[in-house]
Amino acid sequence: MIDLVEVPPAIRNLVEMTRWMGKEHLRPLGIEADRQGHPHPPDHPFYKMVAEMGIMKRRMEQETPADEKKDEGKERWGARSAVLALEEASYWDRGMAVSLPGPGLGGPPISQLGTPEQKERFLGIFRDTSKPRWGAFGMTEPGAGSDVARIATRCEKKGSEWVLNGEKSFCSNSPRADWVVVYATIDRNLGREGHRAFVIERGTAGMSTPKLEKKMGLVSYETASFSLTDCRLPAGNLLGGEAVYKGKAGFVSAMKSFDISRPAIAAMAAGIARAAYDYTRDFVKQNYTTGRPIPRYARMLDRLTTMKRKIEASALLCWKAGWMADLREPNTLMASMAKAYSAPAALEACSLGLEVLGDAGVTKDYFIEKLYRDVKAMDIVEGTGQIQRIVIARRMLDYPRAEQGG
Ligand SMILES: Cc1cc2nc3c(=O)[nH]c(=O)nc-3n(C[C@H](O)[C@H](O)[C@H](O)COP(=O)(O)OP(=O)(O)OC[C@H]3O[C@@H](n4cnc5c(N)ncnc54)[C@H](O)[C@@H]3O)c2cc1C
């Protein structure tokens, strides 16, 4: 992980608090959820404790200051603090990290597209420390994953309301969310120009009860599909209002969300890789000193150094992508490089770690087996590895933007 020497004290405290929470809660609860085969319920005392700690309240106050002018000229740290805190949380348990209360991936589109009234209405609730609250982001559909331009969920203006019909899949935290940001199209033939972003609040008629996917890993957070059948929304739930959707504003807002979220998702992969490295290193050290013969010892060292090298490189790429986001510099290329590098590096780290343990590595008695199941999805979420490489190539060659993954 990045050396914290240059980090402001508030961010250092956040990372140290995450480390405490990770050790005391995220790791044990993550293992428990994995063994029981389903996530902990939203009314679990842990989530109440997190809400009461006011972490999300402080974050909301930093990100949406009442007087934005007051903060003009100050150095921004939001993207880098997310990189550091989520890397640390994922070191302990990536699934539990995603399950933490907060707006999640639904936050960036509201921040970018939402009117001040919508920001207050949908993000303001996270200042409430009396109970945990969640937001979610629904782009992916059964027929549209990487190529988000193909989404088929329809939205139609009828009088003062919008009516939505369609299917959304793999929407993380949606079963417990207070609201879900959903992307729909006014006309599929318009491609990206037809996209609109809505906020659907929990209990809205026409939204089905989300159905949980049974995942191979990352069991500790919910990923679910739901349908929208004549789901009626007031005009005020269209993010930004109709005037903002000139050209590709809806689509661009989703892509800009990825510029912020991809460095953080890449950092989560790096966190899993670091956990795999530490676990494997300790296993090797312990067995070396206690006399259990470690076969082909030089090859073991080679595997450990490969893991370590790639973890450091991942952390630096994530840091740079986050730093550019904080500077409000275009960072799409760097965000995709971080994601394209970190996810396979983390998969390799878990695979090498499992190899080092040998037969023991495939048993449930050893933590590396869980990491191996958890890590695979990191190359799929927020745009697959192939899609990141397409984004990188297009940016390098100045090709027009295309599909970038949901
Ligand atoms: C654990 C988990 C959580 C998720 N959470 C969310 C969420 O909260 N919200 C949300 O909206 N989505 C979520 N997703 C969905 C995720 O964003 C999609 O899975 C991802 O965008 C890929 O889409 P797909 O799975 O439909 O694959 P597809 O797009 O069908 O791709 C299948 C394969 O083809 C490859 N491929 C596709 N197009 C190309 C191309 N042009 N060139 C080369 N190869 C290509 C892909 O890389 C992939 O290997 C989640 C997924 C998972 C696994």
Pocket test for ligand 1, best of 105, 139, 381, 394 (most atoms within 8 A of CB): 381
Please check whether residue 180 is in contact with residue 225, taking contact to mean a CB–CB distance below 8 angstroms: no
Ligand 1 lined by 135 (C-beta under 6 Å) = no
Round the average pLDDT of the chain to a whole number and report it: 90
Residue 43 has pLDDT above 80, yes or no: yes
Question: What is the model's pLDDT at position 369?
Answer: 98
Tell me the average pLDDT across 280-293: 76
Residue 113 has pLDDT above 80, yes or no: yes
Give me the domains of the chain, ranges plus CATH numbers.
4-102 (1.10.540), 135-249 (2.40.110.10), 258-397 (1.20.140.10)
Within 10 angstroms of residue 242's Cβ, the number of other Cβ atoms is 11
**How many H helices and E strands in the chain?**
12, 7
Q: Give the end-to-end CA distance of the chain in Å, rounded to a whole number.
A: 27
Give the percent of the chain with pLDDT over 90: 74
pTM exceeds cut of 0.85: yes
Residue 406 has pLDDT above 50, yes or no: no
Please check whether residue 114 is in contact with residue 68, taking contact to mean a CB–CB distance below 8 angstroms: no
Confidence of residue 76 (pLDDT cuts 50, 70, 90): confident
Q: Measured between alpha carbons, how far is 402 from 38 in angstroms, rounded to an integer? A: 36
Tell me the average pLDDT across 278-292: 80
Residues 6 or more apart whose Cβ sits within 8 Å of residue 65: 71
Ligand 1 lined by 223 (C-beta under 6 Å) = yes
Among protein residues, the one with the nearest Cα to ligand 1's atom 1 is 377
Please check whether residue 138 is in contact with residue 168, taking contact to mean a CB–CB distance below 8 angstroms: yes
Tell me the average pLDDT across 177-184: 97
Tell me the average pLDDT across 238-265: 82
Tell me the average pLDDT across 48-56: 90
Ligand 1 lined by 380 (C-beta under 6 Å) = yes
Residue 156: enclosing H or E segment and its boundaries?
Answer: strand 154-158
Q: Measured between alpha carbons, how far is 262 from 241 in angstroms, rounded to an integer? A: 27
The conformation of residue 248, written as its DSSP 8-state character, comes to T
Ligand 1 atom with the smallest distance to the CA of 138 is: 11
Q: Measured between alpha carbons, how far is 274 from 210 in angstroms, rounded to an integer? A: 33
Within 10 angstroms of residue 285's Cβ, the number of other Cβ atoms is 11
Q: Which amino acid is at 391?
A: V
Confidence of residue 301 (pLDDT cuts 50, 70, 90): confident
Q: Collapsing DSSP states into helix, strand and coil, what is residue 226?
A: strand
Within 10 angstroms of residue 96's Cβ, the number of other Cβ atoms is 28
Farthest-apart Cα atoms in the chain, separation: 77
Residue 88 has pLDDT above 60, yes or no: yes
Ligand 1 lined by 384 (C-beta under 6 Å) = yes
Give the percent of the chain with pLDDT over 70: 90
Residue 23 has pLDDT above 80, yes or no: yes
